[in-house]
Chain A
């Protein structure tokens, strides 16, 4: 490890670093048309110099399917499926530096490497090396890519938003600080972020679909898959119009809302610590229910035949848990919270 690495002296899990230094690091993700964005532009220009940009466009023929594997660091990535058999990549490099020559050099060194192996296109953003630990650069690449509608897409960025629309092959979209939005993809595998929201609309998954964030919300509207896993730590989970055979939805302080048709024999495991859990069922599928809270309450619109409680080891108030079955009990519902409420409602 070179001395350059150790210049980052902020130990952040112990104390949050100063915001000024944070700005010099990877920034981005503000929508361009807000007053705050305009302020930020002027601020950035004063601190870091004017923005220099460079645009690159490349088209690669891949056949009706093909695959895109894109890895970015700072900047947004937007991918859309279109007709045709080529992958078209438009990349805008943006660099700021007080010294115009230095900025130009950095712009050149901010590399976009595109490699094609068969019908698979790999795109990598590589950052310029820091000159003597210079912290006054801000560099990003924003990608807009169109791919054949049957292509598979895997995109990753660290600081920026990722979105994928109308692509039929397998889709994986990840970022760390930014939002992920996936729309109209029948073969979604993963959409994740750390500090941002995950939105999935009109999607399907071939097997297990995974939606995750740490501090943001997970929103899925119109989703069909064998199995869905979604999680947040401090954000809410909102699932509507869902058709899955297996579900695991967990949050710690966020609430969970689940509107669905249960599958026969399906298993649905929803849990939060302090958030509320509310499930709205449109179906008459029978279920086995295990709903509990420690300090909240539980309510069900469905008539549940309570399981005989054989022992008294675990005396609990009757409004803190419901364990029993409705109908033929073929599906399994586990709804657990610690201090929230649980509601099982009819649509």
Chain B
């Protein structure tokens, strides 16, 4: 038994997985791994988890959240500060906020609220046949899809009703690109029908839906900005008229 043998307990797995060992350390770990399937499995799994974490869904806060925060700040008891610097958010955003508020739930595209409570760790779920497991994953996917769909519909509603604020050429570009995203969504859906277990198809679908939500949010923000500009002009107009 060589003094260089490292036991499973002593294996610097964490450092190895992140590539932090010096070459000698790496060789020592690799020698162990050559002869130990359990640790090989462990290292592979840790790398899988690490890689998967990196590409989790990117969630976006709703487009109007900043205005809501600003509205709360305006109503705070003020420190010695120039609160006049804050836009009069409530007056300016009234109708728009009301519409956006209706979307609060819809635009939260997190998946967790849709999950059924998971079984306590260590217990074996009842009737956990492979078919049942696929079904439950399927149900989760459908629920997540519906969530995205609702967010998209809500945002589309706002965008459509207020699109007159946008320059027609810009609106046309946004519309065309929404179509590009829609095509990606329908291709992914079709693929998922033929291979429901494909992680790549799933990811493709959710990536595309997320992009659609982001694009719609960007559209709504643009409409916002145009409106801000127009509001300022409207304000001046009012002043002029009342002179």
Contacts and interface: CB of A to CB of B under 8 A. Distances in A.
Query: Are chains A and B touching in the complex at the 8 Å CB cutoff?
Result: yes
B55 interface: yes
A338 B204 contact: yes
B188 A338 contact: yes
Nearest to A14: B160
Contacts of B47: 288, 307, 325, 329
Most A CB contacts (10 A, CB to CB) among B41, B163, B177 go to B177
Nearest to B161: A11
B163 A264 contact: no
B181 interface: yes
Interface string B220-243: 001000000110111011101000
A47 to B, nearest CB: 16
A271 to B, nearest CB: 6
Query: What is the predominant secondary structure among interface residues of chain B facing chain A?
Result: helix
Interface string B35-67: 000001100110110111011000000000000
B200 A336 contact: yes
Interface stretch (A1-9, A85-93, A96-104, A182-190): A1-9
A339 B52 CA distance: 21
A12 B171 contact: yes
A272 to B, nearest CB: 9
Given A2-B237, A127-B233, A233-B215, A214 B177 contact: yes
Nearest to A286: B19
Interface residues of A, number: 69
B31 interface: no
A321 interface: yes
A223 interface: no
B237 A233 contact: no
A5 B55 contact: no
Contact of A308 (B41, B52, B164, B174): B41
Interface string B157-182: 00110011111111111111100110
A253 B237 contact: no
A8 B167 CA distance: 10
Interface stretch (B5-13, B68-76, B191-199): B191-199
Nearest to A212: B218
B126 interface: no
Contacts of A12: 163-164, 166, 168, 171-172, 175
Given A12-B163, A332-B51, A294 B180 contact: no
Nearest to B179: A234
Interface stretch (A16-24, A53-61, A138-146): A16-24
B201 interface: yes
A314 B192 CA distance: 12
B215 A214 contact: yes
A36 interface: no
A336 B173 CA distance: 26
A334 B44 CA distance: 16
B164 A11 contact: yes
A252 B211 contact: yes
A334 B51 contact: yes
B149 interface: no
Given A269-B55, A294-B198, A176 B234 contact: no
B170 A194 contact: yes
B135 interface: no
A250 B211 contact: yes
Contacts of A250: 207, 211
A32 to B, nearest CB: 19
Contact of B173 (A177, A294, A339): A177
Nearest to A7: B164
A149 to B, nearest CB: 30
A176 B170 contact: yes
A26 interface: yes
A284 interface: no
Given A11-B163, A129-B240, A295 B208 contact: no
Contacts of A321: 200
Contacts of A334: 51, 54-55
A293 B183 CA distance: 17
Contacts of B164: 5-6, 8-12
Contacts of B142: none
A271 B188 CA distance: 14
Interface in A296-347: 307-308, 310, 313-314, 316, 320-321, 323, 325, 327-332, 334, 336, 338-339
B222 A194 contact: yes
Given A273-B204, A332-B51, 10 more contacts: A17-B168, A17-B171, A127-B233, A177-B169, A194-B170, A233-B180, A294-B188, A316-B198, A320-B200, A334-B55
26 contacts: A4-B234, A5-B230, A12-B171, A12-B172, A14-B163, A16-B168, A26-B167, A126-B232, A127-B233, A129-B233, A176-B222, A177-B167, A214-B215, A233-B177, A233-B181, A234-B177, A234-B180, A252-B177, A274-B184, A288-B47, A288-B51, A290-B52, A294-B188, A295-B191, A336-B204, A338-B201
Interface of B: 17-21, 26, 40-41, 44-45, 47-48, 50-52, 54-55, 156, 159-160, 163-177, 180-181, 183-184, 187-188, 191, 197-201, 203-204, 207-208, 211, 215, 218-219, 222, 229-230, 232-234, 236-238, 240
